[in-house]
């Protein structure tokens, strides 16, 4: 498993990273947890249970790639729209 960080010439902080993708076995991904939520139908009053994945804290989140350049561009676009 490896992770690489890439820096802009005039920056101290990493601008983006690349890493190997972790292939989790089904139901064994420790970076997410399954949460059961009950939903109630307003018209009929029936309830159902929905399973949803939510991110959770894990050492393995370190291996998720990031790109600060894309986040900065999205922030600039949001400011221009407002």
Q: What is the pLDDT of residue 32?
A: 92
Q: What is the pLDDT of residue 82?
A: 61
Number of domains in the chain: 1
Section 57-79 average pLDDT: 80
d(C-alpha 35, C-alpha 77), whole Å: 34
Residue in the block written with tokens 């291996």 = 63
Calculate the dihedral angle through the C-alpha atoms of 74, 70, 32, 30, rounding to the nearest 10 degrees. -160
Range of the domain at 32: 3-81
Predicted confidence (pLDDT) per residue in 8-65, tens digit = 887 778 888 888 888 989 889 999 999 999 989 889 989 999 999 899 999 998 888 8
Write down the pTM of the prediction. 0.57
């Amino acid at each position: 498993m490896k992770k690489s960080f890439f820096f802009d010439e005039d920056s101290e902080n990493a601008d983006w990273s690349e890493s190997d993708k972790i292939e989790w076995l089904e139901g064994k991904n420790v970076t997410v947890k399954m949460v059961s939520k009950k939903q109630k139908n307003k018209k009929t009053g029936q309830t159902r249970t929905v399973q949803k994945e939510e991110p959770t804290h894990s050492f393995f989140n370190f291996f998720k790639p990031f790109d600060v350049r894309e986040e900065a561009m999205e922030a600039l676009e949001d400011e221009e729209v407002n």
